[in-house]
Amino acid sequence: MYAITGISGKVGGALARTLLAAHQPVRAVIRNLDKAREWEALGCEIALASMNDASALAAALEGAEGVFILPPSEFDPEPDFPEARAVIDAVKTAIEWAKPRRVVCLSTIGAQATQTNLLTQRTLMEQALSKSTVPVTFLRPAWFMENFEWDVEQARAEGVMASFLQPLDKPVPMIATADVGRVAAELLQQEWKGARVVELEASQRVSPNDAAAAFARVLGRPVAAQVVPRDTWADLFTRQGMKHPQPRIRMLDGFNEGWIEFEGGDNAIVKSDIPLETVLRELVAKAT
């Protein structure tokens, strides 16, 4: 049996559906019973647990052949990441108590970076779980293509795609969440010892200009990428409601300056198949 946290999200959902399609037993670890019905109808066993509740989480993971850990995303964390640290402590304790056969943990490109940024939350998780007695794979995917969901409305209405990724012709490693889920399902069914890292991106990197061109093909109208000046970011994010915009700013700096990148060489990176245009067509259809 495979216990899946974060199953109601894009990656966790894709992972669970991949396992179910292969006739593998799945336990959906869910915080809210209201979200359980869909997965129960698909044949999943249901376990209720919050990611910061070590006892409930350990019970949810007990007896699992493999466990998928998808840490909750905190986009506006308090200084020193107390929200992430609470989850990390609970996850580490639950794994040691439940002792599943293996764990795959969703991490991120750039988890090895020493500069503090929004993705440091994943760095802290890797540091804690790498000491586990249970075999752990840290899956480090690239920038999610689904992040372009925020650009659909403006691209359609104005023919503009505002970009924090800069310069506009710089290719960025990206990945579709469906590919992340598929690869995570494959990893969960493998055998290995100790801790390992698997890095994942699409077969072609995408610049903001490339993304705008893909939007243009999907929407059937001209779309141009437009730089959002860095000196406007702090005020913009604050006006959007963020209390602590600096971690997000530093994450974007990391992509733009090149210190958020894959750790292994190109030959060591797993390449996936889904192109950006396929994802954009789904996002545009969803927004229609």
Beta bridge partners of 227: 163
CB atoms within 10 A of CB 147: 15
The gap between the terminal CA atoms of the chain, to the nearest Å, is 38
Number of helices (H) and strands (E) in the chain: give both, helices first: 11, 12
- DSSP states along 13-31: HHHHHHHHHTT--EEEEES
**Cα atoms in the Cβ-side hemisphere of radius 13 Å centred on 132:** 32
Question: Do residues 71 and 91 make contact, with C-beta atoms less than 8 angstroms apart?
Answer: yes
What pLDDT is stored for residue 32 in this prediction?
84
What pLDDT is stored for residue 37 in this prediction?
87
What pLDDT is stored for residue 264 in this prediction?
87
**Residue 207 and residue 96: Cα distance in Å, rounded?**
42
Convert the pLDDT of each residue in 127-180 to its tens digit: 999 989 999 999 999 999 999 999 999 999 999 999 999 999 999 999 999 999
Say if residue 135 is preceded by a cis peptide, omega within 30 of 0: no
Convert the pLDDT of each residue in 12-64 to its tens digit: 999 999 999 999 999 999 988 888 888 999 999 999 999 999 999 999 999 99
Convert the pLDDT of each residue in 78-113 to its tens digit: 999 999 999 999 999 999 999 999 999 999 999 999
pLDDT above 80 (res 197): yes
pLDDT above 80 (res 123): yes
Fold of 2-145+174-200+261-273: Rossmann fold (3.40.50)
Domain ranges of the chain: 2-145+174-200+261-273
**Residue 136 and residue 130: Cα distance in Å, rounded?**
7
What pLDDT is stored for residue 35 in this prediction?
82
CB atoms within 10 A of CB 139: 24
What pLDDT is stored for residue 106 in this prediction?
98
Whole-model pTM? 0.95
pLDDT above 90 (res 267): no
Considering Cα of 123, then 81, then 174, then 250, what sign does the dihedral take? negative
**74: phi then psi, degrees, rounded to nearest 5:** -115, 105
Question: Do residues 14 and 177 make contact, with C-beta atoms less than 8 angstroms apart?
Answer: yes
What pLDDT is stored for residue 22 in this prediction?
95
pLDDT above 80 (res 266): no
Convert the pLDDT of each residue in 219-254 to its tens digit: 999 999 999 999 999 999 999 999 999 999 999 999
DSSP conformational letter for 71:
P
Convert the pLDDT of each residue in 3-20 to its tens digit: 999 999 999 999 999 999
